Structure 1
Amino acid sequence: MLDGHLLLGWLSFTVIVCLAGFPGPTAAYFGLTGNEPLSVLPLNALPEELTGRAHYKLCDRLKLEKKQRRMCRRDPGVAETLREAITRSALECQYQFRFERWNCTLEGRHRSNILKRGFKETAFLYAISSAGLTHALAKACSAGRMERCTCDEAPHLENRKAWQWGGCGDNLKYANKFVKDFLGKRSNKDLRARVDMHNTNVGMKVIKAGVETTCKCHGVSGSCTVQTCWRQLMPFHEVGKQLKQRYEASEKVGSSTNEATGEAEISTGSSQSPAPVPDLIPRMRYIEDSPSFCRASRYSSGTAGRKCYKDKNCDAICCGRGHNTQSREVTRPCQCQVRWCCYVECKQCTQREEVYTCKG
């Protein structure tokens, strides 16, 4: 569990979050939704012993299914990309929920128990996981870290005279194909499996909808007579923001039987108009209402002792129990100035601040 102030610094520390395995009601996927123990590893360079063919070791550490392990081993760049996808997904999930009762707790038993149920939080975990994997793979291709893919190929542009295709675009086409094959097909007869697949697809569709065309001008004296353009994915932080919007607008579904085919179909079971979402990408779906997350339970450690912000979320996070106030001195860099040639000089300023934490 990461505090909002500590989140950005998490990348620089060797933090291991052990995720315990669990017998889920449906076949699990990978990363935050995997059914095997996983470690969320820091995003630093791989140690020397994991380079070359020794990337097999990292594939084994990720506890992949047989087919997934084979896909991981056939390209040395896949193992590091999978690890990066897990870590980025975890960080973004915790960032998006840092001000809420459920702050994307990833400790083993809490995560595993949530994944056994069909909560809104479960839906977000599936969506952020598939989005993280798709995003990481597309970026790895354009960065030259993969052997089986490279830059995105030029699409069919309507106005070829306006620009020429160049640069190195993020290879979303390869990433989508890889992810679909990596996650595999799941049965659509079970409601929970169908909902999980739907939320997985929401994550991938948000990535696809966020592709932008980036251009660079070429010409005499910046005349921009020719533009070189390439496709680029939006930052993953923006992906997390959009998925959080779909979490807020998610709809509860149930199952009904199609009399013609005899198969179970998804039904909303509500006549109310759902909350709007920014575009045509489908909203997330869930099956059952979430717990309050106020008290320690099998789903979270509760909010007792959680840091809150007095004018922003203390009433909501503390669940009406009130909060404690503590005053402390904090020293931070201040009055920073850039010095010739290449360094920043700062003073150290000390000030008192109040810290608010929820009562037990």
Structure 2
Amino acid sequence: MLLSKIGIFGLIILAVSLQRTESYFGLTGKNVYLDGDTEWDCKRLSKKQRKMCRRDSGMPETLYEAIRLSERECQMQFKNERWNCTTSDRYRENILKKGFKETSFLYAISSAGLTHTVARACSRDVLERCTCDESFNDEKNKETWQWGGCGDNIKYSQKFVQNFLNGKKSGKDLRALVEKHNSDVGIRLVRQEVKETCKCHGVSGTCATKTCWRQLSPFSEIGKLLKDRYEHAYKVVSTTNESTGQAQLVTPRPKGEVVNRTEGSSLGPNDLVYIDNSPNFCSRSKFTPGTSGRVCAKETNCKVMCCGRGYNIKSNEVQKPCRCRVVWCCYVDCDQCLEREEIHLCK
């Protein structure tokens, strides 16, 4: 299927190394297009992922859409931050080599985008191996409403994504535990935010009967939830659970003491976790182009975004509608006036 070129945001599965291929799907900065960037292809995925991609003719398009969805939402959530989900291959790839908070967000938003897109693709009849979710799960209301419509198939999507992301040899090191945890956060939040949508049927607008189905929440809501998890992410280390013998994530305490947050109230299954402190993203480095030249809002974020360096003011003349009037009967007519607009740019 021919697709328009999306620049540096292709499907990027070769995330940090070939060993981590199956643990990550998303915004890592490497294209997997055929020559000419005119067609999406599965050829650079791992062997397992390549098989899953090719066994359904609608899957390449679905994976492509998942990347676009994740990319847009990542940039929307961080547009006013020092790190703005940068579009550069080099910077993003270097971030993914570390265990920053930003890395945790990339893992979560990518798995969430894939989960969301696959579930929608099922209900839109894009995929051959799944259909609408037509299951019924509310027996107490069965007499007053019926299960119908075309629900987004979150059950199939969750199973597919977990199988797609998790390799046969799941890593037990700290990085592998953190990456899987953050990916699972994205999947879980999409599932938890599924809503029941109903349509009433009856004479004169009554609701004698209702047809109900499951529908995904807008992805922007998932993005907001993940951004909040990013703001409250926990730094973790790995330890062995004495009772089970399995590795687990814990948060470090002062003087080297640790506490198992998975059994407490601080760290839950929907919390993002990280292992490396993030850079400040103020100045150019291998992780960021810096904030010099970025547009900021004087009243809200210039001080933070410009890192105390101050800002320059640039004046532009822009055309805006003015002296608008209603023209009988059916439309509004406006003049175009020039207005001077100030833009603040970080030094």
**Equivalents in 2 of 1:110, 1:166: separation in Å?**
47
Task: Please say which of residues 176-185 and 93-102 is displaced more in the overlay.
Answer: 176-185
**Equivalents in 2 of 1:337, 1:269: separation in Å?**
65
Provide the residue aligned with 1:145 in structure 2: 126
- Choose the corresponding residue for 1:311, options 286, 299, 302: 299
TM normalised by structure 2 equals 0.85
- Give 1:184 deviation, angstroms: 2.2
- Choose the corresponding residue for 1:324, options 307, 312, 330: 312
Deviations 1:126-184 (A, max 9, x none): 00000000000101111111111111022321311231111100000110111111112
Q: Superposed, which structure 2 residues align to 1:38-187 within 5 Å?
A: 38=31, 58-60=40-42, 63-157=44-138, 158-185=140-167, 187=170
Contact 2:25/2:107, CA 8 A, preserved across alignment: no
Provide the residue aligned with 2:223 in structure 1: 240
Q: Provide runs of 4+ in structure 1 moved above 6 Å.
A: 336-341
- Choose the corresponding residue for 1:295, options 277, 283, 294: 283
User: Relative to structure 1, is the Cα distance of residues 350 and 75 closer, same or farther in structure 2, using a 3 angstrom cutoff?
Assistant: same
Contact 1:336/1:347, CA 8 A, preserved across alignment: no
Deviations 1:105-137 (A, max 9, x none): 131111111000000000000000000000001
- Choose the corresponding residue for 1:219, options 171, 178, 202: 202
Q: Does 2:185 match 1:192?
A: no
Counterpart code for 1:288: D
Q: Superposed, which structure 2 residues align to 1:20-35 within 5 Å?
A: 23-24=16-17, 27-28=20-21, 29-32=23-26
Provide the residue aligned with 1:204 in structure 2: 187
Deviations 1:263-311 (A, max 9, x none): 5432101379x9xx9x965210000110000000000100000000000
Superposition RMSD on alpha carbons, in Å? 3.0
User: Relative to structure 1, is the Cα distance of residues 286 and 25 closer, same or farther in structure 2, using a 3 angstrom cutoff?
Assistant: farther
User: Relative to structure 1, is the Cα distance of residues 14 and 308 closer, same or farther in structure 2, using a 3 angstrom cutoff?
Assistant: farther
Counterpart code for 2:278: S
Counterpart code for 1:147: E
Identity of aligned residues (%): 51
- Give 1:15 deviation, angstroms: 4.2
Any unmatched runs of 5+ in structure 1?
A: 1-12, 41-48, 51-56
Q: Does 2:233 match 1:250?
A: yes
- Give 1:93 deviation, angstroms: 0.4
**Equivalents in 2 of 1:329, 1:205: separation in Å?**
47
